[in-house]
Amino acid sequence: MKTAVRTIRWLLDAALVVLCAAVVALVLAATMGPSLGHQPLVIRGGSMAPALPFGALVDVAHVEPANLAGGDIVTIKAANDVLVTHRITRVVQLSDGLYIETKGDANAGPDPVLVPVSAVTGRVDLSLPLLGYLMYMLTTLPGIVSIIALALTFLLAIWLLEDFEDGMDGKSRSSPSSWADSDWPEREWLGRDWREIDWHESDRPASELIG
């Protein structure tokens, strides 16, 4: 029982540390990343599954147009300022510049129009499944409150388990597993034959039982 309680407490400790570390890392990535040429983005669609599942967090790094190639996953800023993350299927040189053809991995065909490389905001260098949910929560007030509530719940559970462990330790120290005759002071038996003792005298002070 004690081992199970300790294991659960350790798991909660680890979960709390991971949660706090993830929050700090995401906040730093969102605030400092753009100045270093990296932009964290949350995948909010399924067109790039399974490579980029819904809810994944991706790191979009700055890339020179000349370094773009087929197979790269890039984020494109559309005319309506919507960001789309798709894979390059081919690079096309036209008279007015360099263009790319893109396609979502889960889509049946390529996107309907070629995209100028100037619309590419960056190339996806890293993908972390599920972390996008946490990043999105950090951008909303209800999400922030939920994260704080979860951290406090972990902390409260850890405190309660620690108190429970302390209680178990105290109980084991105060409750002897067995009592033998050898545990009793020898002086209570000196000068008396145990067969001569009236066991009804056990209510009397021990000093009166010593012959």
Statement to judge: residues 48 and 122 lie in one domain: yes
Contact of 73 with 63, CB cutoff 8 Å: no
Statement to judge: residues 113 and 53 lie in one domain: yes
Rounded Cα–Cα distance for residues 171 and 5 (Å): 15
Write the pLDDT tens digit of every residue in 13-70. Answer: 999 999 999 999 999 999 999 999 999 999 999 999 999 999 999 999 999 999 999 9
Statement to judge: residues 58 and 15 lie in one domain: no
Give the model's pLDDT for residue 64. Answer: 94
Give the model's pLDDT for residue 211. Answer: 45
Statement to judge: residues 151 and 186 lie in one domain: no
Give the model's pLDDT for residue 150. Answer: 96
pLDDT class of 116 with cuts at 50, 70, 90: very high
Statement to judge: residues 56 and 123 lie in one domain: yes
- Is this structure's pTM higher than 0.75? no
Rounded Cα–Cα distance for residues 182 and 25 (Å): 62
Statement to judge: residues 42 and 129 lie in one domain: yes
Statement to judge: residues 57 and 111 lie in one domain: yes
Statement to judge: residues 119 and 202 lie in one domain: no
- Phi, psi dihedrals of residue 175, rounded to the nearest 5°: -115, 105
Write the pLDDT tens digit of every residue in 124-160. Answer: 999 999 999 999 999 999 999 999 999 999 999 999 9
Amino acid (one-letter) located at 202: S
Domain carrying residue 205: 181-211
Statement to judge: residues 26 and 39 lie in one domain: no
Statement to judge: residues 155 and 207 lie in one domain: no
Rounded Cα–Cα distance for residues 202 and 211 (Å): 14
* Helix 2-32 / helix 141-174 crossing angle, nearest 10 deg: 150
Domains of the chain: total: 3
Statement to judge: residues 95 and 144 lie in one domain: no
Statement to judge: residues 41 and 130 lie in one domain: yes
Write the pLDDT tens digit of every residue in 67-105. Answer: 999 999 999 998 888 999 999 999 999 999 999 999 999
Proportion of the chain above pLDDT 90, given as a percent: 71
Write the pLDDT tens digit of every residue in 166-187. Answer: 777 666 555 555 444 444 454 4
